[in-house]
């Protein structure tokens, strides 16, 4: 077991059986969303978009083109000026994989 310090305490994570991984991922996602907030008003809207993407993934609907992604962002309340930054952050956090030359 490994212990990771987080904003709400420590998380016990088991590499062998995945114990605590989901709780740690949720904490990291929430912390990341809160860090984005001041720049584009994304604290809550980012989380809404993230949840919508995760819902699609849970349904095995894993391919989202750029237009669909931006539509999710728009429905989630993310300002259009924040679309590229939100996508970049989601990519860096491993929520999505985006390709720089992908425009669709």
Across the chain, what does the average pLDDT equal? 75
φ, ψ for residue 62, nearest 5 deg: -95, -15
- 11 within a domain of the structure (yes/no): yes
Question: Rounded mean pLDDT of 10-32?
Answer: 77
Q: From residue 69, how far is each of 20, 28, 35, 36, 37 by CA, in Å? A: 29, 21, 21, 18, 19
Domain, as residue range, for 22 = 2-92
pTM assigned to the model: 0.53
- 104 within a domain of the structure (yes/no): no
Expressed in angstroms, the distance from the first to the final Cα of the chain is 42
φ, ψ for residue 76, nearest 5 deg: -85, -5
The per-residue pLDDT for 26 is: 78
Domain count along the chain: 1
- 44 within a domain of the structure (yes/no): yes
- 69 within a domain of the structure (yes/no): yes
- 25 within a domain of the structure (yes/no): yes
The per-residue pLDDT for 14 is: 81
Kindly tell me if the per-residue pLDDT of 1 is higher than 50.
no
Kindly tell me if the per-residue pLDDT of 76 is higher than 70.
yes
């Amino acid at each position: 077991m490994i212990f990771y310090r987080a904003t709400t305490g420590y998380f016990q994570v088991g590499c062998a059986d995945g114990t605590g991984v989901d709780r740690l991922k949720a904490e990291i996602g929430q912390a990341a969303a809160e860090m984005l907030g001041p720049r584009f008003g994304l604290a809550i809207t980012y989380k809404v978009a993230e949840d919508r993407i995760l819902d699609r993934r849970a349904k095995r609907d894993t391919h989202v083109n750029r237009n669909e992604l931006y539509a999710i962002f728009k429905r989630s309340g993310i300002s259009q000026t924040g679309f590229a930054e939100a996508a970049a952050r989601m990519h860096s956090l491993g929520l999505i994989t985006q390709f720089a030359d992908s425009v669709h």
